[in-house]
């Protein structure tokens, strides 16, 4: 039996990932806040259980760990996909520290806490894997998304460190960097409305799910979706003047 836990599984990339893993024969534990969505998705799949939980709540990580222990006693794959973006400029009334804290709590700290809670069972289940769903915003920053980008930069850096630390224990750690993927939580309306940027937007969450599978069970260190977005980070560092010219015109 191969067991996988997917957070943020109720829609978008998380739901697509659950369906992809189901086709590969995984038994699934689905985690998100919306119970009715999880129940409907689980009913589609061959073997899936679900837990409605707010991952920023104090007791949520321990609850997940107990659930995994009760259901399986092992975990072959953890997909940390849960995330959201609260857009605001730093000087806006809803920006500043409050916005940074809100983004960090879900996009970074919740992932760290969940991974910590499941760390032991992942090592005992080795070879196993962790996939952290980052973002193109882990590589570049855009106006009105500073707090979100900061949380994803943090996630990308922590993922790389964790990869080095866990490799000797048989736990592979990788990252997926989606570009501008249209989902319920990320409608990408600003980009789709502009002729200059609408080409950047994709609605194909299945491609992100394929990348997650390639990074997790497939053992790749990272994957960008679309692949060309893997050049964004290097270009940003090689030609910083270009991003300073283009960046202010793009909003997440």
Q: Which domains does the chain have, with CATH numbers?
A: 2-249 (3.40.50.720)
Lowest mean pLDDT among 7-16, 29-38, 152-161, 176-185: 176-185
| Mean pLDDT, residues 69-87 | 94
The chain-wide mean pLDDT, for the chain, equals 86
Alpha helices for the chain (secondary structure H):
12-23, 35-44, 60-71, 96-104, 110-124, 146-166, 189-193, 205-215, 232-238, 240-246
Specify the pLDDT at position 203: 45
Band of pLDDT at residue 233, cut at 50, 70 and 90? low
DSSP 251: B
Instruction: Say whether pTM exceeds 0.75.
Output: yes
Quick one: pLDDT band at residue 187, thresholds 50, 70, 90? very low
Active-site residues, by number, are 148
Residue 198 has what pLDDT?
A: 37
Q: How far is CA 141 from CA 41, 130, 146, 150, in A?
A: 34, 25, 6, 8
Does 159 score more than 50 pLDDT? yes
Q: Average pLDDT, stretch 57-65? A: 97
Flag the least confident range among 8-12, 42-46, 246-250: 246-250
pLDDT of 246: 61
- CB burial readout 20-59, b (16+ within 10 A) else e: bbbeeebbbbbbbeeeebbeebbeebeebbbbebebeeee
């Amino acid at each position: 039996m191969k067991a996988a836990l997917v957070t943020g599984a109720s829609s978008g990339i998380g739901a697509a990932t659950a369906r992809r893993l189901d086709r590969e024969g995984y038994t699934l534990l689905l985690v998100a806040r919306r119970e009715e969505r999880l129940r409907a998705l689980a009913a589609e799949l061959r073997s899936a259980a679900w837990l409605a939980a707010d991952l920023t709540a104090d007791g949520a990580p321990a609850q997940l760990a107990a659930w995994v222990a009760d259901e399986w006693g092992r975990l072959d794959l953890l997909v940390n996909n849960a995330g959201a973006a609260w857009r605001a400029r730093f000087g806006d009334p809803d920006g500043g520290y409050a916005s940074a804290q809100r983004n960090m709590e879900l996009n970074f700290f919740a992932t760290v806490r969940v991974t910590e809670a499941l760390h032991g069972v992942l090592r005992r289940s080795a070879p196993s894997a962790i996939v952290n769903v980052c973002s193109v915003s882990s590589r570049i920053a855009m106006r009105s998304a500073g707090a979100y980008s900061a949380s994803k930069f943090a996630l990308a850096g922590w993922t790389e460190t964790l990869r080095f630390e866990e490799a000797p224990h048989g736990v592979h750690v990788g990252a997926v960097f989606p570009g501008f993927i249209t989902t319920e939580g990320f409608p990408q309306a600003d980009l789709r409305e502009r002729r200059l940027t609408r080409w950047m937007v994709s609605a194909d969450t299945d491609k992100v799910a394929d990348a997650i599978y390639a990074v997790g069970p497939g053992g790749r260190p990272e994957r960008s979706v679309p692949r060309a977005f893997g050049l964004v980070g290097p270009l940003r560092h090689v030609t910083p003047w270009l991003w300073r010219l283009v960046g202010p015109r793009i909003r997440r």
